[in-house]
Amino acid sequence: MYLHPIDIAIIVVYFAGIVWLGFYLSKKASKNLDAYFLGGNKIPWYYLGLSNASGMFDISGTMWTVSILFIYGLKSAWLPWLWPVWNQIFLMIFLAVWLRRSNVMTGAEWIRTRFGQGTGAHLSHIIVVVFAVITVIGFIAYGFEGIGKFSSIFFAYDLSFRFLGINFTSEEAYGLIFMGITTLYVIKGGIYSVVGTEVIQFFIMTFSCIVIGIIAMLAISPDQVYAFVPEGWGEFFFGWRLDMDWSGIMDSVNYRIEQDGFELFGYALMLMILKGIMVSIAGPVPSYDMQRVLATGTPKEAAKMSGLVILVLYFPRYFMVAGLTVLAIVFFSPELKSMGADIDFEMILPYAISNFVPIGFMGILLAGLIAAFMSTFAAFVNAAPAYIVNDIYKKYINPDASDRTYVRLSYAASLTVVIVGILFGFVVDTIHALTVWIVGGLYGGYIAANLLKWIWWRLNGYGYFWGMLAGIVAALTTPALFPDLTALFAFPIVFGFSLGGTIIGTLLTSPTEPHVLKKFYTEVRPWGWWKPVQEACTAENPAITPNTDFKRDMFNCATGIAWQMSLVVMPIYLVLGEYPKMGVSIAVFVLASVILKFNWLDKIEDYPAGTELSERDIRGRLKTDPPS
């Protein structure tokens, strides 16, 4: 389709505005690495929270969410637990505080606070850098696939071309254009540019969500929706089996459910919960989410920032997702059915937008959705170079270079990561394939070592390295060995290899130096199996007491998951006109909010008892540790 000139003008003005903002903020970002990647820890936490929420509001993820709501109905609200989406709850309750207390710039730099110096620490440091860069490249490819498919539908001008003997499709050309614009302002302005543009993008996207939800509510009735879906589609709860049969309605959907492996829904959810708890305690992967935590001013602000992400993200996003889905169910079902076995659920979102959004609003909505893509992409582009420059070049190659050299090298690193991510995106067929690869492959190898790093004092650098390596290798080879096994059901195999590598690598090598463990425990103060270290610390300083908040933290996490889930289903019930069920979700939200106010927010501590160093002193000591 061809956009109206008004819509095109809105999009052009938006692009010009964010590029200008990126260049305007470049002076602040170019001072040094700390300013470029963390904003000098001076960016207000609520801006970081809105920025983080905007970064999670991507086109590819939205297309996937719309498709699973179409297929699985209300039960699809459980499926994002594959990531798991409630890892943000664990961050909010305790992990953001622990992570921010470390006072470092990147997840790889954090390794020094946990494992000190020496060969094992260097190996673990290197594998985190490798993992972080691969993760970012994977997500860039994921975004490239989504923005290309999405844009080529609305910007229907044929931009296909041939370069160096290679044919580029229109989808790929549009992907290159939008990635190029985003890369330009991210490289120039660093995290200041990313956060500034993402805050603007968040409000554009929220407005777009409200417009779509209202259009859907005015255009269709609940009875129309239920006439096109199977029995059980509108039910939130479930048994051991999915028991949703699309036969006679859209037979190919049954094949998709079989491919996904969710017919045994209860068993799948049990694995999601088991995996989700371990992934969540392991903490965020070393990308933009971790960067936002480390960029906050204090540990308490890090916790509040993580909570704000949940509060502002889910209702508007699912209001739009529900609106797009019901419009597609009522009006696009015949076209989907005609696709037969080649049904493409990723076309649902573009179809609904192109057919039901009026002129003017179309431009705003497309600017918002492209903004969502640019937010996610920008966040990853700004995160990866921190590992390349701070954790490789500065640490191992040239520790005495000038700040100007480090910042300029960050520009080059950003551009390199983007190019590699795009090249990877060329060889991937679908967003769903990339989702499975990222969730099953990359995340699968991350869990065991990163879970134990917080809760087991004996874990050392060697164990961390071998656990990560074994997990990543197992995650990437299991699909070849067991092609019929879905990523979720392969998780126990991957986790077993990773856990085995972690424990064996740890027990066959010496423990981390006592002074490193005592310093880490004193400043971060996690709960778990830390008794020998805690007793040694207390013997030196009686003010250092053990963390006894495990039960309270787990209760708050469970409450937080219910709180988050109510924000997911509330807008879906609103669009479907299920007002009694919506009322129940509102009641759950209010009750959970009250509990979290008194049992979490009021009890957050910046630094635990016995920590005498100021934040500046802690950061200074970390930066001046002698080389091994």
The pLDDT confidence band at residue 422, using thresholds 50, 70 and 90, is confident
- Look at residue 553 in the predicted model and tell me its pLDDT: 96
- Look at residue 360 in the predicted model and tell me its pLDDT: 78
CA 388 from chain centre, in angstroms, equals 20
What is d(CA 91, CA 500) in angstroms, rounded to the nearest whole number?
26
CA 458 from chain centre, in angstroms, equals 29
- Give 577-606 pLDDT, tens digit per residue: 999 999 999 999 999 999 999 999 999 988
- Look at residue 308 in the predicted model and tell me its pLDDT: 94
Q: Residue 423: beta bridge partners?
A: none
Residue 626 has pLDDT above 60, yes or no: no
- Give 468-481 pLDDT, tens digit per residue: 888 878 877 877 78
Helix (H) or strand (E) holding 605: none
What is d(CA 410, CA 414) in angstroms, rounded to the nearest whole number?
6
Q: How many CB atoms lie within 10 A of CB 163?
A: 7
Q: How many CB atoms lie within 10 A of CB 430?
A: 15
- Compute the average pLDDT of residues 151-168: 73
Instruction: Look up residue 627 and give its DSSP letter.
Output: P
- Look at residue 532 in the predicted model and tell me its pLDDT: 95
The pLDDT confidence band at residue 628, using thresholds 50, 70 and 90, is very low
Residues listed for the chain: 628
Complete domains list, the chain, with CATH: 5-445+547-621 (1.20.1740)
The strand pair at 166-168 and 161-163 is best described as: antiparallel
- Compute the average pLDDT of residues 59-87: 84
Q: What is the pTM of this model?
A: 0.82
- Give 325-356 pLDDT, tens digit per residue: 998 888 888 877 777 767 776 677 777 777 77
The per-residue DSSP string of 466-490 comes to HHHHHHHHHHHHHHHH-TTS-HHHH
Between CA 459 and CA 467, with CA 464 as vertex, the angle to 5 degrees is 115
The amino acid that residue 306 corresponds to is: S
